Amino acid sequence: MTTDLRVGVITKSHGIKGEVKVYPTTDSPLRFDEITRVKVYIQNKYVTDLKIASVKHFKDIVILKFKGINDINEAEKYRGAELYIPREEGAALEEGEYYIADIIGIRVVSDEGTELGTVRDVMETGANDVYVISMPDGRELLLPAIKQCILDTDIENDIMTVHVLDGLMEL
């Protein structure tokens, strides 16, 4: 769809003046305080760019007001929309950190040379992320994103080398 970075999903409108509630998909909801414009996708199709007029934070939700959207009816049109920013506007990464978008689809091989499949999804559990690996036989392998399991992630060559802990293949 896009090489941009997803920062949130509009869940519903908020109030009658065109604000929307956004579930942030970034590491920090405070990231929205720095964003001035988002690309809007609905059902995986680009719709428009919207300028952010104001940002409020409430618990884990971000409430956005977009320029030019001034009533609930207009805001409701964006329910379920995904919000993206250009990759170059993404937060700086430390060494060994990756955007989730960069590892989705990456090939996964074991430290023994076995082709395990590809990363299909990343589950954020709180303690550590869990990589969902789609295996060639149709099964899923759930790998905790910990240094004992994830040995190397080579984004440039599209390959992740992992160590599968005893018992994980049987789950």
Summarize pLDDT for 52-85 with one digit per residue, the tens. 999 999 998 999 999 999 999 999 999 999 999 9
| Amino acid code (one letter) for 6 | R
- pLDDT tens digit sequence for 80-134: 999 999 988 888 888 878 888 889 999 999 999 999 999 999 888 878 889 999 9
Is 52 in a helix, a strand, or coil? strand
Please determine, for residue 38, whether its predicted confidence score (pLDDT) is greater than 90.
Answer: yes
pLDDT score, position 92: 82
pLDDT score, position 67: 97
Is 75 in a helix, a strand, or coil? helix
Reported pTM: 0.75
| H-helix segments, the chain | 72-76, 100-103
Confidence of residue 1 (pLDDT cuts 50, 70, 90): very low
Per DSSP bridges, beta strands 140-144 and 150-154 are unpaired
Closest CA to 64 of 22, 95, 28, 92: 22
Q: What is the rounded CA–CA span in Å between residue 49 and residue 71?
A: 18
In contact, 60 and 54? CB cutoff 8 Å? no
In contact, 119 and 133? CB cutoff 8 Å? yes
